[in-house]
Structure 1
Amino acid sequence: MIDADEMVALIESCRSEMQAMLPADEFASLSSKTRQDYRELGRTLLQRVRYAEGGVAEVITATQRPTTYYKRVAALRYCLYADLVEQLKSLHSALSARPVDGLQVMAIRTQLQQQRASLHEFDIARQSGYTAERQKRASKRQALRGLPSDWREQLYQRAAKGKYADAILVAALTGCRPEELRHGVLIRWANNPRNDMDEIRFEIDGAKVKTYQGQPHRLIAYGAHDPHPLLEALRARLAGQGELLVRIDSPVNFTVEVRRLARSLWPKHKHAITAYCLRHQWAADLKRHAAADSVSQGLGHASAKTRRHYGQANQACSRHALHPAAIEAERPVKPTAGKVPRHRAASNTESTP
């Protein structure tokens, strides 16, 4: 026998718990990709919970990296929320059917009760917070130490006949993220009407973009006859073509290949060289000679504070550094919270090249 009052009470209870788990405005701000990633990670974590003696708390805290912990919390929180939404929809449909399928309703009610138990366990674990001893994370910026000054050129030469040759070339010349290469980076040979000079332009659709975060689109241009070896290699690729679209299928496979190539070149180097090292080296080059906001815009950032995590000017070698002719992005760069003294700020007003 189905108790209608009990079912209504269960539905209302689940709704209130959903609102506490994830407010509507936060739910709306999640991109479709983030939702998909959270669902996949959340389901994996829920599978682990079944076999973990410590339940939810053990699964989300089994890491020495706070960033991993908080990502697990966010993913599990969203996954539990999304599952509740689906189960409530199923319950409404089952109760609205005529005749009502009592067995189906009872099965959904059991699932909801189990879901509420998981929610309660998760809430307790989340409130306890991250308690593990923090492990110092290896910085990709540190990985540049000890590499030869022409390491990017050597890396590209080693990869020149491989699947990811073009991707390595683009990542080295733009500092783009592997995820942005998955979207595709368009390279064009074009004339700049402002100075009547030919340029090689890279058009990048940004990753990690939200309402007030990141650059949705940016452009990085080099003089068409820049003698840098990497640009010479690109000109050879563009021979007879006005444009070239460079795209990868898997950011993970791409960075694995970069790591493999680097290990074959420098087997004694103590740090792993990944695709993000190209991003750090590009930032180091620009920090040596370009305006600060150009570095942020070129990296795809909308906040000035983020660039401090990428490269250092002393890691750039003047002989092998890259010199973009222009960098453009959709959004202005937000300054850091701590203002630079006025007399210093005035000395750093170099315009974007």
Structure 2
Amino acid sequence: MELKEAVSYAKKIVRDIGIKDVEDKTKDEYLKIFKRIITDPDKILYEGSKGYYYKKKAALRFSIVHYIQMCIKKINSKSLDQVDANKIWDELRYFIDLYKKHAINTGVSPVTTKNPGKSKRKSLRKMPYNWREIMWERCDNYDYKGALAILQLTGARPSEIERGVIVAGDESSDFLEITIRGSKQGKAKRNGQATRTIKIEMRTRVSHGSAKNYLLSQVAYEGHLFVQVNAKRLNDYVRRLSQKIWPRKKNHISPYSYRHQLSADLKGEGCLPPKISMILGHRSILSKKKYGISAQARGNSHIADVTCSSPLRDPQPSRLPWDRLASTKGADARYPML
């Protein structure tokens, strides 16, 4: 394969995989995984669970595009001598061979082993109906009390709590307003919601000692509360607490379990799909499908309303059954709870 032919094929690979817009943190993680894979791709790519295989393959495809683009950029600089040209030619051929052998999407996973004990949906199976209340009552570390309340009421991501969540309201308010700065937006900020404000219903009786009661007591004097906890420490604490309460269970609660549970509750209440997506901080209406099922619903979500910074994206062509009931247009779109 000549250099010109290699460049042409490499560009075809870039078009096939596509240029992914990911955050710097994800990019660094993918490149780190890629450096491990290339030491022995035949072994490292296919060992472990099915879920981890897909993550490694995503890292592989992203990194192939990343390095191919670097090679093409060097070629276009027109300052290559023959030695550099031969080196880039060898690099391109290596990435092309790596793509052909390991990175083409076939639609079938060569790995069938599932990752034990980490499924968010499975973690909710056979859990007590009031598992969130039990976790709340057993939480004796006040460094995590506010974060646990935010998880329970809003399903916020741990990375969003790390960015800081603002709770506003007072004892005379009808709602507690919880403002969340979104994560997983990508460098171009085209994914997810930059901010969303979730209104928690306060007109009904607030149980003493509940998560709502705790947040209300915290904002009573100042009128607002700022909740911020390191994402990894929060994840570790929630898992340790779950293991302490239910030591014999195989699948344990994680911060994302709260997210799945809230989605399940909303689906069980008949909440419109666009509103579920907005509450979870998505830009796509279809993203909510990955979270929770109505059969796992466990009571009232307490969410009255939500406002997001960006409109939702409809699948194209849009023929969704709820389009007749609610429009997803407008940056300040609102959806009533059905």
Aligned residues of 2:31 and 2:59 also touching (Cα < 8 A)? yes
Are 1:45 and 2:28 counterparts? no
Aligned residues of 2:45 and 2:56 also touching (Cα < 8 A)? yes
Query: Which of 76, 80, 84 matches 2:64?
Result: 80
SS in 1 for 2:225: strand
C-alpha distance in structure 2 between counterparts of 1:112 and 1:245, whole Å: 54
SS in 2 for 1:220: strand
Unaligned 5+ runs, structure 1: 1-8, 97-101
Aligned residues of 2:168 and 2:176 also touching (Cα < 8 A)? yes
Aligned residues of 1:255 and 1:275 also touching (Cα < 8 A)? yes
- Once the two structures are TM-superposed, the CA of residue 42 in structure 1 deviates from its matched residue by 1.9
Counterpart residue identity of residue 204, structure 1: I
Classify 1:122/1:351 alpha carbon distance in 2 versus 1 (closer, same or farther; 3 Å).
Answer: closer
C-alpha distance in structure 2 between counterparts of 1:282 and 1:28, whole Å: 29
Encode CA deviations 1:86-125: one digit per residue, 9 max, x unaligned: 45666788947xxxxx8xx847854652453243133222
Aligned residues of 2:49 and 2:113 also touching (Cα < 8 A)? yes
The structure with more helix, counted as a fraction of residues = 1
**Corresponding residue for 2:161?**
181
**Corresponding residue for 1:99?**
none
C-alpha distance in structure 2 between counterparts of 1:217 and 1:331, whole Å: 12
Q: Extract structure 1 runs of 4+ deviating beyond 6 A.
A: 90-94, 335-338
C-alpha distance in structure 1 between counterparts of 2:36 and 2:25, whole Å: 17
C-alpha distance in structure 1 between counterparts of 2:181 and 2:191, whole Å: 14
**Corresponding residue for 1:299?**
280
Are 1:68 and 2:49 counterparts? no
**Corresponding residue for 1:240?**
221
Counterpart residue identity of residue 263, structure 1: Q
SS in 2 for 1:325: strand
C-alpha distance in structure 2 between counterparts of 1:290 and 1:42, whole Å: 43
Classify 1:202/1:18 alpha carbon distance in 2 versus 1 (closer, same or farther; 3 Å).
Answer: farther
Unaligned 5+ runs, structure 2: 326-333
Encode CA deviations 1:146-184: one digit per residue, 9 max, x unaligned: 323332222223334253332222111101122222332
Query: Which of 23, 27, 32 matches 2:15?
Result: 23
C-alpha distance in structure 2 between counterparts of 1:125 and 1:146, whole Å: 39
Aligned residues between the structures: 318
SS in 2 for 1:285: helix
TM-score w.r.t. the length of structure 1 is 0.73
Larger radius of gyration: 1
**Corresponding residue for 2:329?**
none
Match runs of 1:136-147 below 5 Å = 136=114, 139-147=119-127
Are 1:59 and 2:44 counterparts? yes
C-alpha distance in structure 1 between counterparts of 2:313 and 2:78, whole Å: 52
TM-score w.r.t. the length of structure 2 is 0.76
- Once the two structures are TM-superposed, the CA of residue 271 in structure 1 deviates from its matched residue by 1.9
Classify 1:14/1:85 alpha carbon distance in 2 versus 1 (closer, same or farther; 3 Å).
Answer: farther
- Percentage of matched positions with identical amino acids: 24
Query: Which of 265, 289, 303 matches 1:324?
Result: 303
